[in-house]
Amino acid sequence: MTSDGRTTAVDDGGSETKPRRTTEKRAQTRAIVLPETMTVQYLAEVLSQNPIDVIKQLMRNGIMASMNQVVDYQVATLVSTALGIRTTMAEQATAAKDPSMAAAGTGYNSSLIPRPPVITVLGHVDHGKTSLLDSIKNSKVAAGEVGGITQHIGAYQIESNGSPITFLDTPGHAAFTAIRARGARVTDIAVLVVAADDGLMPQTLEAINHAKAAKVPIVVAINKMDLPGADPERVKRQLSEQNLLVEDWGGDVISVDVSAKTGTGIDTLLESLLLVAEISELKANPDQPARGTVIEAKLDRKRGPSTTVLVQDGTLNIGDFIVAGNAYGRVKAMTDDKGRPLQHVLPSTPVEILGFGSVPEAGDQLSTATSEREARTMAGEAAKAYSTAGHTRALTLEEVVNQVDTDAVKELNLVVKADVQGSVEAVRGALGKLVDEDAKVRILHSGSGAVTESDILLASASEAIVISFSIGSEPSAERLADRMGVEIRHYNIIYQLIDDVEKALHGMLDPVYTDIIVGRAEVREIFEGRRGTQIAGCRVTEGRMIRNGGVRIVRKGAVVEENVITSLRHFREEVNEMNSGTECGVVIQGFNTFEEGDILEVHRQERGRR
């Protein structure tokens, strides 16, 4: 902050600049340096934006935040990317430049304390995810579930050597990514469970790709070591083929041999998780207003809306006014995973909350308000944002081109599906050779078979484009893609696929337009007009005729002319349009060779997805 009270930002070179005068130039040249955590007001000042516009942009991403609320760098980039402004994160030693934090006594960074790691367990069905968690927390979760398969998201906290660890037990990577698709990052470490007797399976590969896309560290738990057919070396070899090289093989991925049935290796696994957490330096500020993510929510007939929340920063207290998406309320009661009542909840702690007036959605960002009026206002703003903007929409290939031109995109994220594995390898190999100075191709996931909902969720969460080669999509995946704004591009010729991606990387992809038929009319009679013009007496058979609209004349199935309607009359009166079932006179610019039976098609071009 300068002596006259104006806020300044620090560029890459360390010099101070005035963001309000140089934002446009700097967005094209150097990246704005942001701290790891900051208030919304500080973010708005650094980006030279109105704080209200920043709050609206956060709402479009499903994140509710007031001006004084603290957000992390990942959340800040959602705003900066939408505004076309490049940002980088400051080093931790110089991260806290926020004057509003410095003014709060000891400062934000001095209040940071280590927090427990949040672990998500991923892997193939029946490889022992829930059984492993069951062994860790010594309670029977799988026993009460249908077929032994996890039916809901659970959040549990255990202690290992006096250090708490929080586990999210999900039904699989689809739920893990569905929450991330809402703009929420809740996982610090992913535990990949692989059965030693089964090896890597299709869902295991998907789980690996989903964890990589989320950019979280992976710890491999090779389960079922008690079985006679256990072969951990085969699992490690298969992992190396997926670019996951375990420490035994000279890599940096920790793998632990475990048996959920006998409890062998469980202590070693927990020690490994705490080691990775220590390296990651996970910290939070318990003195701030609470911020968290809704893990699951349901309507209990007796107790009302029941919401499982993972508190990520600050402290949540009984009596706090809370907002999550378009739901709001006041905390009436809180219980931990063992059903014990709580008065205060610290960061990285899962808690079940009673007090919402309606049921929020999984992935909604929870924040606190100072009053019920403020909470109601924030929820109302969120409802408006959802109705107008919907969920966060992924990019189309054409939009990627525009962002490449503004230096906003460094990677073109793709999800590749093909008919057979050989085609997958061919497409991956060809795409891997495409390199551009502004952007590169990053394949988040590839596999054989139709495009599934899991592929769409991954693409939505990572702003990726789905490439389908010689294969279709599941109907449910098509509907989900349409709802979430994910582009699926279908190809049958590999050269067209490569050409489109290469054009996107070089910023040359032409827009795609769809021809929409507005209306059709049949020529019944022909009249001579002034100065040699012809007037076609028509009956509108479907849709409507529009004056000044583009029209094509179709004669015996062939298009003989494309032009514009210059005059549209009903009897002697000039009109703007005529609807189906009516008769009208039509004059087309420069066309005077009508024949009875000609079909006039009024059409327009609508920009759309390929």
DSSP output for 368-408:
EESSHHHHHHHHHHHHHHHHHH-SPPPPPHHHHHHHHHTT-
pLDDT exceeds cutoff 50 at 164: yes
Indicate whether this model's pTM tops 0.75: no
Q: Do 392 and 505 contact (CB within 8 A), yes or no?
A: no
Same structural domain for residues 79 and 175?
Answer: no
Same structural domain for residues 251 and 148?
Answer: yes
Q: Which domain holds residue 314?
A: 291-385
The type of residue at 437 is: E
Question: Residue 540: in which H helix or E strand, if any?
Answer: strand 534-546
Domain count, the chain: 5
pLDDT band (50, 70, 90) for residue 219: very high
In the chain, % helix, strand, coil (3-state, to 5) comes to 30, 35, 35
Q: Among 506, 537, 558, which residue terminates a domain?
A: 506
> What letter does residue 367 receive in the DSSP assignment?
E
Report d(CA 457, CA 210) in Å as an integer: 10
Residue 435: closest CA among 462, 411, 406, 418:
411
Same structural domain for residues 477 and 432?
Answer: yes
Q: What is the pLDDT of residues 129-141, one digit of tens each?
A: 778 887 887 643 4
Q: Which of 162-176, 282-296, 312-326, 392-406 has the lowest mean pLDDT?
A: 392-406
Q: Which pLDDT does position 98 carry in this prediction?
A: 41
Would you say residue 391 lies in a domain?
Answer: no
Same structural domain for residues 104 and 40?
Answer: yes
Q: What is the pLDDT of residues 220-271, one digit of tens each?
A: 999 888 888 888 888 898 888 888 888 888 888 899 998 888 888 888 899 8
Mean pLDDT of all residues in 162-167: 86
Residue 47: closest CA among 62, 64, 34, 63:
34
Q: Among 385, 412, 427, which residue terminates a domain?
A: 385
> What's CA 250's distance to the chain center, in Å?
34
Residue with tokens 């968290």: 292
Assign residue 544 the CATH number of its domain. Answer: 2.40.30.10
Q: Are strands 291-300 and 9-10 parallel, antiparallel or unpaired?
A: unpaired
Question: What DSSP letter does each residue of 479-519 carry, written as one string?
Answer: HHHHHHT--EEEES-HHHHHHHHHHHHHT-PPP-EEEEEEE
Report d(CA 71, CA 183) in Å as an integer: 12
Would you say residue 69 lies in a domain?
Answer: yes
Same structural domain for residues 275 and 167?
Answer: yes
Q: Which pLDDT does position 15 carry in this prediction?
A: 40
Would you say residue 249 lies in a domain?
Answer: yes
Question: Residue 594: in which H helix or E strand, if any?
Answer: none
Same structural domain for residues 411 and 500?
Answer: yes
Half-sphere exposure at residue 77, Cβ-oriented, CA atoms within 13 angstroms: 16
The type of residue at 397 is: L
Would you say residue 404 lies in a domain?
Answer: yes
Q: What is the pLDDT of residues 411-433, one digit of tens each?
A: 788 999 988 877 887 888 888 77
> What's CA 15's distance to the chain center, in Å?
34
Report d(CA 118, CA 374) in Å as an integer: 30
Any idea what the Cα angle at residue 281 is, between residues 280 and 286, rounded to 5°?
135
Q: How long, in residues, is the chain?
A: 610
3-state secondary structure of 219: strand
Would you say residue 263 lies in a domain?
Answer: yes
Residue with tokens 């809901």: 152
Would you say residue 332 lies in a domain?
Answer: yes
Same structural domain for residues 127 and 273?
Answer: yes
Same structural domain for residues 176 and 258?
Answer: yes
Tokens at 446, concatenated: 């590839």
Would you say residue 72 lies in a domain?
Answer: yes
Q: What is the pLDDT of residues 476-519, one digit of tens each?
A: 888 888 888 888 888 888 888 888 888 777 665 556 677 888 99
pLDDT band (50, 70, 90) for residue 317: very high
Q: Which of 29-33, 64-68, 69-73, 306-310 has the lowest mean pLDDT?
A: 29-33
Q: Which pLDDT does position 483 carry in this prediction?
A: 82
Q: Which pLDDT does position 521 carry in this prediction?
A: 94
Q: Do 453 and 483 contact (CB within 8 A), yes or no?
A: no
Q: Among 358, 385, 412, which residue terminates a domain?
A: 385
pLDDT exceeds cutoff 90 at 460: no
544 burial type by CB count under 10 A (0-12 exposed, 13-18 middle, 19+ buried): middle
Q: Which pLDDT does position 84 carry in this prediction?
A: 77
Same structural domain for residues 305 and 252?
Answer: no
Q: Which pLDDT does position 385 carry in this prediction?
A: 63
Same structural domain for residues 275 and 136?
Answer: yes
Same structural domain for residues 133 and 245?
Answer: yes
Would you say residue 4 lies in a domain?
Answer: no
Assign residue 447 the CATH number of its domain. Answer: 3.40.50.10050
Same structural domain for residues 127 and 269?
Answer: yes
